[in-house]
Amino acid sequence: MDYQHLAEQYQADLLTDLATLVAVDSTRDVAHATPAAPLGPGPAQALATMLGFAERDGFTTANIDHVAGRIEAGQGDTILGIFGHVDVVPAGSGWTSDPFTTTIANGRVYGRGTADDKGPLLAAYYALRLLHDQGVTLHQRVHLIVGTDEESEWVGINRYLTTEPTPDYGFSPDAEFPIINGEKGIATFALTFHQPQLTPAPLVLTGFSAGLRVNMVPESATATMRGALPADFAKALGEFAAANGVTASLTSTATDTVTVTLTGKGAHALEPKAGVNAATYLATFLTTYAFDAAGAQYLHAIATYLHNDSRGHQLGIAYTDKVMGELTASPDLFSYTPDGPQTIAINVRYPQGTDAATIRDQIETTLGAEHVTVAVAGHAQGPHYVAASDPLVQTLLQTYTDQTGLPGHEQVIGGGTYGRIIPRGVAFGAQPVGQENVMHQANEYMPINALIQAVAIYADAIARLAQ
């Protein structure tokens, strides 16, 4: 069967459905939760929209408490799971087009979720539709499982696994080709600073904030301060910005409050080097000035232990495994008020050989328990690995090679996908080899031909696995 030729026949339909799905701002929003939308109206609407596509095309579906869903195909005792998600991270700033309207230019489709994960999820769905339309008999049950908060706490997929049949094995179309058969552990560490003794100083830090989510390198950061600025402050800020590839703005009010904003580049926290962390640059610039004790402590910790150190050397948590590679550390959320919380959230992706408890202890030891309390925030996930010799991995790699002509090989990443939720789960596409990773960034996109090729690869893979 010429899967590539068949996949091309679905391009117009896929792009139409993608436009419909991208138009739903499906950012997790529990502040506006209802019984019909436990994770917010956007995720619930996106789930209903995705299941609606399948019902339109004749598939049986299930909506699990408006937080997860299933599209069904095939018959048999074994279940092949395909795990995707319809939620997205916040759009953020820096877009040159509406992030919730698909824009096609230069062979690419732009919009929040086109790469992570609405585009790849639809590629997997259209693979099922292709097989259905061609009358291919699947001798296993294939469950395309849709989550609604993969970018945060995984409530949807965890609810699914507690109430619905757990697949025997499967893959997630939420990463890159040729395969991801290993994923590092993921944990976020919440640093809460203790208030030091008050001391007089020329400048008082009255606020510091940055970041949208714990899995996004902050694109912008803002600090407010009160006091007499040196005469050359504005000039020094401009020179610092120019020397470090960031942009800066400076405003002041009649009440002697000064606001400084730095803009860098957002990125997925799985590889902090892909971004320019505005918060650590801003703190590094401000540490050259004399602030009050609390402000100085906060800025000093950022500049000394977090700036330009994505591997955690200055924090004392650096670790490398020969299979899974290096630990990465991404400080992503910052919040400071003089009389309120003074916190930093650090997202760490760690290989096998260490664990979240050890890393927590190391961070607190480095910064000093007398200065800061460190706690694991949210749900921590340990490292996950499926051996390259596993038949699932071998079949997917051979399918990839047969469809693309490119060699397949195992890979380990710092990203976290639904592939890790079952023992024999991997991530498989849909980002092509060599494409820049624009997930969680402004102007997110997928090449249209890559989406169509993914349809062909997934259709072939499903047919082989469920034969």
Q: How far apart are alpha carbons 176 and 433 in whole angstroms?
A: 7
Annotated catalytic residue: which of 17, 25, 116, 150? 150
**Active site (annotated) includes residue 150:** yes
Contacts 24+ apart (CB under 8 A), 21-24: 21/46, 21/49, 21/50, 21/86, 21/113, 21/118, 21/122, 22/100, 22/101, 22/102, 22/111, 22/112, 22/113, 22/114, 22/118, 23/100, 23/101, 23/102, 24/49, 24/86, 24/100
Q: Answer yes or no: are the C-beta atoms of 139 and 75 closer than 8 Å.
A: yes
Q: Answer yes or no: are the C-beta atoms of 118 and 179 closer than 8 Å.
A: no
Q: How far apart are alpha carbons 385 and 186 in whole angstroms?
A: 14
Annotated catalytic residue: which of 17, 25, 87, 332? 87
Beta strands in 157-279 (DSSP E): 169-172, 175-176, 182-183, 185-193, 203-210, 216-217, 220-227, 247-252, 257-263, 267-268
Residue 156 Rama label (left phi>0; alpha psi -120 to 50; beta): alpha
Q: How far apart are alpha carbons 308 and 326 in whole angstroms?
A: 15
**What's CA 188's distance to the chain center, in Å?**
13
Q: Answer yes or no: are the C-beta atoms of 276 and 226 closer than 8 Å.
A: no
**Active site (annotated) includes residue 17:** no
DSSP letters of 380-442?
EE--EE--TTSHHHHHHHHHHHHHHSPPP---EES---GGGGSTTEEE--EEPTT----TTST
- Catalytic positions are 87, 150
